[in-house]
C-alpha cells in the first residue's frame, strides 16, 4: 500500500500569509488612529462654523426688526440698510429663480463639506480656520434663504454690492483656505513622497519573501 502524502501547508506560504495578516492589522490600526485624530478637528470646524452662523443670524434679526421701516444707520464709510438678496453672495445670480438658487447652493455646500471631511487631516491651522469660516458663512446664508424671501443684506457702501457678515466670512474663509493650502501643499506633498519612497525602499516585497523562503527551504533540504 502506498503511504498517503501528508497534507501540510508549505512553510513559505505560512510565513507569507502571516506577514499579510500582520500588514493588514497594522493598516487597520493606522486607519483607526487617523480617524481618531480627525474627529476633534472636524468638531472644531463645526464649532467655529456654528458660532459664525449664530453671529450672522443675530445681526440679521436685529437689522430686520430695527430697519424694516426703511431707515438706515450711517457709519460714515458704510451704511447699515436692510435689503433682500434673492441671488447668491454679493447679489450674484439674483436673476435666477429662488428654488434653483437654494437647491444649487445646497448641493455646493454638501459637496464642499464632504470634501472638507476627506481632506481635513491635510489642513494646517490657517486652512482649518478658513474652512470653518467658509462653512459658517455659507450655511448662514443658506439657512436665511429657506424662507423664500432671499438673504438679508445690510452693509451698504454705495459703490459695491450690499452684503452681510456671512458674505464677509465666506470671502475671508476662501482667502485663508487658499493661503493655507498653498503654504501647506508643497511640504505635505514632499513629506508624503519622502515617506512613501522610504517605505518602498525598506519594505520587503512579497516576491522577495517567497524567493527568500524558497531558497532557505531548498538549502535546508539539500543539507
Q: What is the pLDDT of residues 59-118, one digit of tens each?
A: 999 999 999 888 889 888 889 999 888 877 666 666 777 788 888 889 999 998 898 888
- What mean pLDDT is predicted for residues 144-171? 88
In this predicted model, which residue has the larger pLDDT, 22 or 161? Answer: 161
In angstroms, rounded to a whole number, what is the distance separating the alpha carbons of residues 138 and 40?
Answer: 22
The catalytic position among 147, 167, 217, 218 is 167
Kindly state the cell numbers that stand for 173: 474663509
DSSP letters spanning 116-132:
HHHHGGG--HHHHHHHH
Task: Determine the Cα angle at 24 with ends 21 and 25, to 5°.
Answer: 90
Stretch 136-153: mean pLDDT: 89
**Neighbouring C-beta atoms of residue 70, cutoff 10 Å:** 7
pLDDT at 216: 47
At residue 153 the predicted structure's pLDDT band, cuts being 50, 70 and 90, is very high
Judge whether 167 counts as a catalytic residue.
yes
CA distance 169 to 167: 5
Flag whether the pTM goes above 0.95: no
Choose between 206 and 138: higher pLDDT.
138
Give the pLDDT of residue 25: 63
**Confidence at residue 188, expressed as pLDDT on a 0 to 100 scale:** 44
Distances (CA, A) of 105 to 8, 80, 97, 111, 199: 63, 26, 12, 10, 43
**Among 56, 153, 214, 217, which one carries the catalytic annotation?**
153
218 is catalytic: no
Report the alpha-carbon distance of residue 199 to residue 207 in Å, rounded: 16
What's the DSSP call for residue 90?
G
Cell of 223: 543539507
- The answer to whether 169 touches 52, Cβ cutoff 8 Å, is yes
Contact status, residue 208 vs residue 172, Cβ threshold 8 Å: no
CB-CB contact of 170 with 89 (8 Å): yes
* Cα–Cα dist 161/159, whole Å: 7
Amino acid at each position: 500500500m502506498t503511504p498517503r502524502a501528508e497534507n501540510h501547508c508549505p512553510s513559505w506560504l505560512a510565513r507569507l500569509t502571516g506577514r499579510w495578516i500582520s500588514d493588514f492589522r497594522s493598516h487597520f490600526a493606522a486607519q483607526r488612529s487617523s480617524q481618531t485624530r480627525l474627529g476633534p478637528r472636524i468638531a472644531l470646524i463645526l464649532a467655529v462654523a456654528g458660532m459664525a452662523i449664530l453671529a450672522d443670524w443675530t445681526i440679521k434679526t436685529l437689522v430686520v426688526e430695527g430697519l424694516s421701516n426703511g431707515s438706515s444707520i450711517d457709519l460714515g464709510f458704510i451704511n447699515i440698510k436692510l435689503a433682500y438678496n434673492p441671488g447668491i453672495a454679493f447679489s450674484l445670480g439674483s436673476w435666477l429663480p429662488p428654488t434653483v438658487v437654494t437647491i444649487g447652493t445646497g448641493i455646493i455646500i454638501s459637496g464642499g463639506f464632504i470634501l472638507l471631511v476627506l481632506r481635513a487631516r491635510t489642513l494646517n491651522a490657517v486652512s482649518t480656520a478658513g474652512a470653518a469660516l467658509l462653512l459658517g458663512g455659507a450655511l448662514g446664508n443658506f439657512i436665511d434663504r429657506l424662507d423664500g424671501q432671499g438673504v438679508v443684506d445690510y452693509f451698504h457702501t454705495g459703490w459695491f454690492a450690499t452684503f452681510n457678515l456671512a458674505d464677509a466670512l465666506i470671502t475671508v474663509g476662501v482667502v485663508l483656505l487658499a493661503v493655507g493650502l498653498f503654504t501647506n501643499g508643497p511640504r505635505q506633498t514632499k513629506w508624503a513622497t519622502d515617506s512613501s519612497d522610504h517605505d518602498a525602499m525598506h519594505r520587503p516585497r512579497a516576491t522577495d519573501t517567497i524567493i527568500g523562503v524558497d531558497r532557505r527551504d531548498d538549502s535546508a533540504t539539500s543539507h
